[in-house]
Structure formats: structure tokens, C-alpha cells
Chains A and B, each alone.
Chain A
């Protein structure tokens, strides 16, 4: 399979930023130990609550921990939960949504009703309640519970897509020649949906990062260092009142950037699936204007030619 670069600049930038954060999540802790020669927990008592300097690029916490080390270490916690919960959510969404949409009938009704019911529950509150009962959930457990509440939106969307697939000529033809439903579903229909599923996966990843950040900020996201955990710790130790902005601003900014990057990718995807929006994007408008100008120029040349 050939990998094509997406044409839209926004999608490229968005994907680039997203992959960058994933990369930081993977190699961040390695940088902390091998390049910075420290750990997220190590306290430097010569620099307590110190601002950014050459020695500590992003300053230190009230107990002298390096904020950059915490940011890098936290990237792994946040991105890992995001990716795993996003994967769980999308797997469930694809399983339920595509099966429902493609099978139809009573299966479809039951699955759709189930998705509707789960979607109606306020997901973040449910997360808070469940995480509140569990004493300090592990990173795997928090990913699982986040994934388990985030799937219904995706399932409903994929169901609609799969329903439209069911009516296409190629599926009718395959059914007619006696292909098994499961084979059609997995081999023929799924590949058509990979684009949508991967875009939705990005969304689910960011939803997971957000949910984890909220839980960690409240102190019920477990003891793994993550961006939300760092912000929560900063608030608890009075960083806001003390004005230690270097402690809590960078992690939040990372979350916001990751969210913006995903939104950019999704704009691109929406524009592909909804042509009306595509016309609205400034690139197309500029191209239209250029074309109009060229046409006008050609026409005026023609009229000049005619009068000459």
C-alpha cells in the first residue's frame, strides 16, 4: 500500500503536531534520563521554585523538581492513556457501529438503542464516579474505563456510513455471488471506512487525553505522572498564588496544542465528506478568484482582438 501525504496544509500541520506529541510520549522519558540526567521526581534543593534558567529550562517546582522533566515524563502518561483509550473506543465503535449498520434488522435496532443509551449518560461524571470508587486506578485501568464510555458517538457515525455501504452496487453484487457477510464486511466494507475511522481515532485519542487530564487534575487518575497530574500537583502546592506559571502553563498548553492539531485534521476530513464546506475554505476561494480573473483577462483579450 502506498502512503500518500494529505493535500490540505491544515491536515498536514495537524498530523505533524499529533505525531510530534506521540514521539515525545515515546522518547520523552529516555531524554529525561539520558540527556538531562535526572528524573521527574528528583529534587534539586539548590533551586526550589526557581524560574526558567539554563540549568532548569522550564524552572522547578516547590520541591525543586525539574518542570521540563515532568512535562516530558507526563507526555508519556497522557499520550499513552489517550492512545489506548482511543483504541478501545474505536474498536468498540467499529464493532458495534459497522455490525449494526451493515446487518440491519433487529440486531441493528438493539445495538443502536444500546449506543444511544450509553451516549445519553454524562460520560465525564460517570468517569469521575467510577474512578472515585477505585482507589488510584492504574494507567491501564483508567485507559479502559475512559475507552468504555467514549465509544457511542463513533459507533453511531460508523453505523450511518455502513448503512450507506450496504446499499452500494458492489455489496449487492458480492451478496448476489454468494460471498459471506462477514467477509464482505471485513475485506470489502472496512477498507472504505479506514479513512473515517482513523480520523475518528484521532478525536478519540484527544478525548481520552482530556478525560485523563480532568481525572488526574482531581487527583483520582492514579499516580502516573501525566499533564493533568502535573497541573493538579501545581494547584495543590499553591503554584497559582505563588505565581509559578512555568509549572502549570506548559502542560495545559501541550493539551491545547494536541487538541487543536486534531481539530485541524478533522476540518480536512469534514471538508472531504461535506463539499459545501470545501467551497468555503479560503484556498478554494482563492483558486476560484484566480480562475475568474484569468477568464476575464482572456475575454478582454478576445474582445480586444475582435475590435482590432
Chain B
């Protein structure tokens, strides 16, 4: 949902070029690993700068927004608790959202100090729970739901893509590609609403909200509790899988189509290798490269991509927590979640780069 029409053509063009030739065992391994190290260092530089930019954005946005967020926050605290916030709490709010008595540099130093200790203060919407606790409670739900569905969607999409791209132009190919084109354009929150109305309200097969059965003891050791998690997460999971596989199918198909035209695939065929072996051992194996790094990228975006779906199903994860925070103007919560997300994205991007270097020895060769 973040990027409904990803700039696929751009990615694919370079990626397809890279996937063209199979891995080869080169002679000059030293120089290559040196290049790989330079490439990874460069990427690391980009991510450090990005992380810093996120930090600056989070620092700047509340300070330059119309209507002083620090004052708003203090007001809301007053409403919530019925008393003026203590000087201690006010000091913390000022550090995070702008202290009128200090200059910007001193403010920034203060701010960074709080952030590196992951201290975002107390939540407004669920006062006086520390934001940290709310985030840690929500995190496992999202990681479990989205981690699982992303991997399943990836497997389905990649397999279908290999199958359709192997013999492009068949009825199966055009049918599936049209279907995934449409699914790719469907807004996730709308699709989630449709599933909710059909399977939950009309048919009554699944619960309409929540992440577990509240009448069952809350413990992972309890079998009924675990089963209730499966039951409650079924609809959100299905929504994410049905909408999620199309991108993978699409990329895999297109790279597969360019790969099967390659000489080495033709040669493998001419050698008389079995269809299956050519398809899996030669074509799909190389065509999969973009999808593998794509998976590493996607796992970082895990939390971001499901904000709306979690909200529709009121699933107790990070996405729902974020929208609750936004609705209640809970600035501390919003800041903390934004940081977590950026951090996850940066780490997974770096992992994706490292995986690419491992899988494709030519990475970093072409100067870009």
C-alpha cells in the first residue's frame, strides 16, 4: 500500500541485466571481495545518512508545525490527568518537542540523547504508560503476522511467476498476469473491509476484530490461546497474502521472460537436459535474484505496509497502534513508531545488499 505502483521498470532494467549471466567462479576473487566491501560500505553510508535524516525530520517537524506541539501536548496531559504536568514531565516534553529557552543546537543534543536511549516519554492516549512499553507489546503481533504472510505471499508469487514466465503468452500467463495486475491496484484497506463484511459479518466464520480471544487465559503455553490467535489472524493474513503475492509474481515473471531467452538457457536445453532441470536449475535460479533481495527489503517494510489492514481488523500490532496514536495526536507514540520503522527498513536494506553481494558476485562492478 505504501507504494502501489512501484517504479518497477527502473528496478527491473538493472536487475534483469544483472540476472543475465549465471554465477561464475571468477579468478580474481580478492579484487572482487574488495569491490563488494566498497559497495557495502557505500550503502552503509547511505543508510547512516538516512537514519540521521529521519532523526532530523522527527526533530524538525514538531518544531515547525503550526500550533506548538509542546503546548498541545501539555494541554492534552492536563485534560487527561486533571492536573498540570509536573516540571519533570514538562522538561521531557520540551526536550522532545521544542524548548523555548534553549537554542536549536542544544535542543538537538538533548533530543538525540533521549532518542538513543529509546526514551520517548509517556503516551498521551494511554496515559501514563511509557511509549516504550506500548511499542514492545505491539511489536510481536505485527512481526508474527506480517513476517509469516510476507514469506507465504513471496513463495506463492515466486512460484507462480516462474511458472508463467517459463512459457509466456499462454492462457495461464495472461490470465494470472491480468489478475495480479488488478489485485496490485486494489487498495489494501478496502479489500480488508470486503473480507470483513463477507467472512465476518455475513458468514460469521471469523471474528471481526482483535488478535486473540479475550475469554481465554493470555498465555502462549495455553493451546486454546494459540488456536484463538490463528483464528483471529486468519482474515488479516488472507488479505495480506492475496494482495501481497502479485508484486512477486509480476517481477519474477518479467525477469523469467528475459532469462529464458539467454544463451545459457538455450544451451542447457540444446544439451538435452530435462525441462524441469532447465527451468529450476538454470532459468528460475537466476531469475530469482531480484525477488530474493526484494524479500529482504520487504521484511523491513513489514510494519509500514500493514498499517491500514491492521487498522481495519483492529489487530493489536504496530500499525494499529500508530493509527491510534495519530488519531489521538499522541506525538510521543508517533515519534517512537516512526523511529522503529525507519530503523527496521535501514537494517533490512543493508541485509538485502549483503545478500545480493553473496548471490551475485558482480555487484558493485558496474559503476553507478
Contact = CB atoms under 8 A, between A and B. Distances in A.
B53 interface: yes
A260 B47 contact: no
Given A206-B4, A258-B185, A280-B169, A122 B342 contact: yes
B46 interface: yes
Task: Report the interface size class on chain B.
Answer: 35 or more
B109 interface: no
Contacts of B9: 157, 266, 269-270, 273-274
A257 B311 CA distance: 24
Interface string B8-38: 1110111010000000000000000000000
A49 B259 CA distance: 54
Interface of A: 113, 116-118, 120-126, 128-135, 153-154, 156-157, 160, 200, 203, 206-207, 210, 213-214, 217-220, 228, 231, 235, 240-241, 243, 245, 248-249, 251-252, 255-260, 262-264, 266-267, 269-270, 273-274, 276-277, 279-282, 284-285
Nearest to B304: A122
Nearest to A206: B5
A196 to B, nearest CB: 9
Contact of A231 (B65, B189, B337, B338): B189
Contacts of A160: 10, 13-14
A132 B335 CA distance: 11
B346 A252 contact: no
- Pick the most buried of B185, B194, B308: most chain A CB atoms within 10 A of its CB: B185
Tell me the interface secondary structure of chain A in the complex. helix
Contacts of A231: 189-190, 193
Nearest to A161: B10
Contacts of B168: 279-281
A200 B261 CA distance: 27
A264 B185 CA distance: 11
B7 A129 contact: no
B322 A125 contact: yes
Given A120-B46, A153-B10, A218-B323, A125 B185 contact: no
Counting from the closest, the 10 A-B pairs by CB-CB distance are A259-B185, A252-B190, A280-B168, A157-B10, A153-B7, A132-B326, A124-B2, A276-B258, A210-B4, A285-B169
Contact of B184 (A130, A249, A263, A277): A263
B273 interface: no
Contact of A213 (B187, B331, B335): B187
A240 B186 contact: no
B207 interface: no
B258 A277 contact: yes
B196 interface: yes
Given A126-B57, A262-B185, A276-B258, 5 more contacts: A120-B346, A121-B345, A213-B187, A252-B194, A281-B168
Contacts of B4: 206-207, 210, 259
Given A124-B1, A203-B7, A263-B181, A252 B341 contact: no
Given A117-B49, A120-B47, A128 B326 contact: yes
